[in-house]
Structure 1
């Protein structure tokens, strides 16, 4: 029975289908309830099928982490370009890009840097997560922060703002005001912009 259910997948497509289903699962139930069996059901394959590509949950999650880091970085670069030339606006745009991405995928930094992934030897994930952080730090350095430590602290604060808005939105806090994704993303950007100007500009 399992073979017939999986027959429609080309060998090279199953991996991508499982990663797509993983994002859908994360957006619906979060990291704590993420499981290989649930992903297989969502992808419409047998419970054994994912193990053709991923030996366990952590290896599947590692592949999701790599894809999330890659796609989030692309979203951040797009948002920064749309924000124009002002370094503060470009850095603040990270909050909106992060909010939009995590609301749609469920894969924030808590997934990208999940503790259980540290022991998984995955060069692709490490390359994409490093590139993501370098991109955000470059945006922070552009607002003339005086040290690496302060750039990291600023990035942490902006991500905390963005993640806070994401959590409040997904938990329904903004339903009372019926705020849209666009409006909430705008609030996250405004909060990040205020933080940047208060802490790191003359």
Structure 2
């Protein structure tokens, strides 16, 4: 459903969140503005402020949805690859690529500076759940200490985020790669971070 159609059905708040994802996918976080979202919906620049007091509160609502959806995507991807812990964590990298390609909202949006103070829309719960999922996947690999698990999560996400950022920047267009191709590369690179367990 397009953001315009969602608004015409009467739920401006939901339409603002949907349109925010579209603006993020096109412009990125640095150029994101409430005014751009309002223009996309053909509403006045003041209309969004009836639902969100400022840019950060709108982004916090987007962050909550993005964290919830990314967590679901990661869990589904991990469930499809079998029991190997390294494969399960690597699947998170592919899930991340697909999520960002589809929504425009990766970890820079989900954990954007300034949002930690905002507690509405279940944002804190969803972001904590997302990180807990990633840490559980890392712990399953037998990485060792909590710090080592955290570093493994960071490396996995850095690989995935790097691939989708390069894809968005046109780095891979010469070879006519698809999002599926980039996700597969991210999975392969992330899998190399975790050695296979001996039977």
With normalisation by structure 1, the TM-score equals: 0.91
Q: Distance in 1 between matches of 2:31 and 2:121?
A: 26
Structure having the higher helix fraction is 1
Runs of 4+, deviation exceeding 6 Å: none
Cross-structure match for 1:155:
153
C-alpha distance in 1 between matches for 2:146 and 2:121: 25
1:45-65 deviation digits (Å, cap 9, x = unpaired): 221111111000000000000
Two-structure CA RMSD over aligned residues (Å): 1.5
Offset at 1:82?
1.1
TM-score by length of structure 2 reads: 0.92
Contact preservation (8 Å) 2:61, 2:121: no
Matching residue of 2:3: none
**Equivalent residue in structure 1 for 2:26, among 2, 25, 28:** 28
Partner of 1:47: 45
Distance 2:98 2:23 in 1: 17
Alpha carbons of structure 1 residues 35 and 28: separation in structure 2 relative to 1, 3 Å:
same
Any stretches of 5+ residues in structure 2 without a counterpart? Answer: 1-6
**Aligned residues between the structures:** 192
1:79-122 per-position Cα deviation (integer Å, ceiling 9, x unaligned):
10111111111110010000111112111100000012123233
Name the residue aligned to 2:189: 191
Q: Deviations over 1:23-50 (max 9, x none)?
A: 0000000001100011011122221111
Contact 2:19 2:37 in 1 (8 A): yes
1:173 is paired with a residue whose SS is coil
Report the CA distance between 1:152 and its aligned residue.
0.4
Q: State the alpha-carbon separation in 1 of the partners of residues 193 and 86 from structure 2.
A: 10
